[in-house]
Every structure is written in structure tokens, then in C-alpha cells.
Amino acid sequence: MNKGARTYLKSAVKAASHPVRSKILKTLKAGSMSTPDLEEAVGENRYNLYHHLDVLIESDLIHEIRSGKKSKYYQLNTPKKPNVAVFIFTEEDFIKDFTTWNKMLDGLEKIEGGKIPIRGKITQAEIHLSYR
């Protein structure tokens, strides 16, 4: 992996790992949203939300779409040939699909060749994929 890709990976991972930005990314999975809609869905005030949206834009995880003179919408970037992908799972995800979560942990243990310590205490998981 070249130095630029390492930098991008660190930037994207750091950006996506923040709880507010993670929530924004999960919300945008459903489709593009305006700032007021994101404000309501994420539960952050607009000024704090703009800061987190700027970080996600700078990390190339989302982009802004203008509709008319004043309306802004935000959408996930989905490149056809990504350099990296970041998957973030929260406790809410674990609870929602506990069986699949446990199968994933079982698979990780099998690949790693050892037990994951204190599985029941995991509150967040991140999987980073790098592409050639």
C-alpha cells in the first residue's frame, strides 16, 4: 500500500469511527438527506452537524449535492473501485441481529485461531478493508 493510501485509510477510519459521524454514515445508508433531516435523525444541533459533515466530506466518505440555490443534500460516496471500506458496528447492530453478529465473531475467531476475549462486553467493532 502506498503512503497516500495509508494516509487516506487513517483519515477515513478516524472520520468514520467518531460516534456522531458513524451515526451520520448509518443514516445516509438509507439515501441522501438534507441538513435539517440529518439534524433530526442524528440528534445534533446544526452547527455541530456541519463540523462532522465537513470532516466526512474531507475524508471522501460523503459528498454534497446542491438542489436549487439553498438546498443541500448529503450522500454516501460509493466508488466503483474503492481504496478502502470501513464497516462500523454498534451495540444497536449487535442487538438487532444477535445471531449474525455471533456468527461473524465465530468466523473471526476461526481466522485468528483464538478466542475473542469478553465477547459479551463488546460495544463497537470496526472492520477496515483495503483494496489493490
The confidence score (pLDDT) of residue 9 equals 56
Percentages (nearest 5) of helix, strand, coil residues in the chain = 55, 20, 25
What is the mean predicted confidence (pLDDT) over 96-115? 93
Among 5-9, 34-38, 60-64, the range scoring the smallest mean pLDDT is 5-9
Grid coordinates belonging to 129: 478493508
For residues 131 and 5, give the distance between their C-alpha atoms in angstroms, rounded to a whole number.
10
The confidence score (pLDDT) of residue 20 equals 93
List of domains in the chain: 3-76 (1.10.10.10), 84-130 (no CATH)
The confidence score (pLDDT) of residue 2 equals 41
Residues near 29 by Cβ (< 8 Å), separated by ≥ 6? 76
Query: Binning pLDDT at 50, 70 and 90, where does residue 75 land?
Result: very high
Considering only CA atoms, which of 71, 76, 67 is closest in space to residue 32?
76
User: The pTM is what?
Assistant: 0.70
The confidence score (pLDDT) of residue 6 equals 47
**Average pLDDT score, the chain:** 86
Strand pairing of 62-67 and 71-76? antiparallel
Q: pLDDT tens across 81-94, in order?
A: 877 777 878 888 88
Say whether pLDDT at 3 is over 70: no
The confidence score (pLDDT) of residue 48 equals 94
Q: Burial, 15: exposed, middle or buried (Cβ in 10 Å; 0-12, 13-18, 19+)?
A: buried
